[in-house]
Structure 1
Amino acid sequence: MHLVYPAVLAVLLFCVGLYGVLARRNSVLVLMSVELMLNAVNLNLVAFDVWLRDTLHAGQALTLFTITIAAAEIGLGLAIVLMVFRTHGTADLDRLRLLAEDTDPGEEPDPDSMAAATANPATTANPATTADLPHGKATVG
């Protein structure tokens, strides 16, 4: 077996995963792209293990370790995405810029500045009805 074929396939998989991480805005698709990149690394590990004819099969053992870490990573990542989706109502990474506010860890955020940062132009025109709240409930005042 030539080493070129799995190496080229691994490079293509890694490039598709890298494109997915850089271009996608949905957090679930970003997690899937990271998994593609990890699978490209696993393919390289197994291909080099076969090519080097290692008696300890260190490449395959490291691949099993990487698969285990990737399974734990995707479980934790999906749990975080679900919690963010429940609290903010979206999994879009551009709309989640609110999480990266510049506040000190010990300082409480100012409610007025948070309300101004989360204000939707459609809801600020008529403050009596705000149907576009993150939790999906409408308030009439």
Structure 2
Amino acid sequence: MSTITTVAKAFFDACETGGGWEACEQYCTPSASFSAQAEALSGIVTLQDYTNWMKGLLTFIPDGQYEVKSFATDGERQNVLAYGIFRGTHTGEGGPCPPTGKSTATDYVYAMEFDGEKISHMTKIWNDTHAIKEFGWA
């Protein structure tokens, strides 16, 4: 297994379990950037902010968990793609409204670009509208 695959898997787990930047920083360059074409993530432009957003999300979706469907490494282009399904129920306080008790199962992909052995940029590909509707937030 390549080094970037190992780093990507460790980062993915730390991020998806709500470790925040404290748990994810070691896998990223200091100025790692972030992008997504999802309204829920508008304004988030650093990987630090995204990992902390995920940490916050899991405070009001405490049963949030991921299922990895695929991990693919492109050594020539120095990137790793992770496809997963996030599942969770809005039962905790916080978030956009009081707890709805509604759940989602939402597909997403992380496209992680590397500079050496560290993630320098990540793009999240996600249909946030689908998840927001399932949670009953719209």
Range into which the TM-score falls when normalised by the shorter chain: under 0.3
TM-score under structure 2 normalisation? Answer: 0.26
Judging by fraction of residues, say which structure has more strand: 2
Bigger RCO (CA 8 Å, 6+ sep): 2
TM-score under structure 1 normalisation? Answer: 0.26
Judging by fraction of residues, say which structure has more helix: 1
Tell me which structure has the larger Cα radius of gyration: 1
